[in-house]
Amino acid sequence: MTSVRHIALTPARAKDVPALARLWHAAWHVAHSAHMPPEHLAKRRPDYFEQMMAEDWAYARLCRTRGDVAGFVMAYEGWVDQLFVAPDLRGRGLGSLLLRDAEHRLRAAGVATGRIDVLAANRPARAFYAHHGWQLHGPAPYPPGGDARLRSVVYIKRLNPKGALVTIR
């Protein structure tokens, strides 16, 4: 595989939507199958990810290996919203590369404190963000009630040393 140092990150384009949706579907199921209710997993079919990506692709940046989409990250309005790497490429530094890019873009947009919403049960993702300096801020204020397996926590990271930490309500 090409060294992570030599992988370019590029803005997603509308024509990337099908490939991004396929990657998102595969990576999401690998990341969440151990802790999501089966009925919730069943709702996350390829068409779900295609529709979501068709709505949000403009927020995504992606990386490619050998011409194929290898991972992507979405970042906007102070949030790192989605970060996924192709299942067969996990553990090679692509997620770190994508996260650093999202942090850079948020910082450049003047965001003082970045936020990430992570499923509380997703221990690997929580460890990944903590490893990169993100700090547990507390439970996400949504969804109220509901299935405890779907509860999220918020991680924050000060991106601009002069900015104040945010309070999330």
* CATH H superfamily, domain 4-158: Gcn5-related N-acetyltransferase (GNAT) (3.40.630.30)
According to DSSP, the β-strands at 9-11 and 68-76 are unpaired
Predicted local distance difference test score (pLDDT) of residue 167: 43
Predicted local distance difference test score (pLDDT) of residue 150: 79
In this model, does residue 128 exceed pLDDT 90? yes
Q: What is the pTM of this model?
A: 0.88
How would DSSP label each residue in 24-87?
HHHHHHHHHTTTS-HHHHHH--HHHHHHHHHHHGGGEEEEEETTEEEEEEEEETTEEEEEEE-G
Mean local confidence (pLDDT), 114-141 = 94
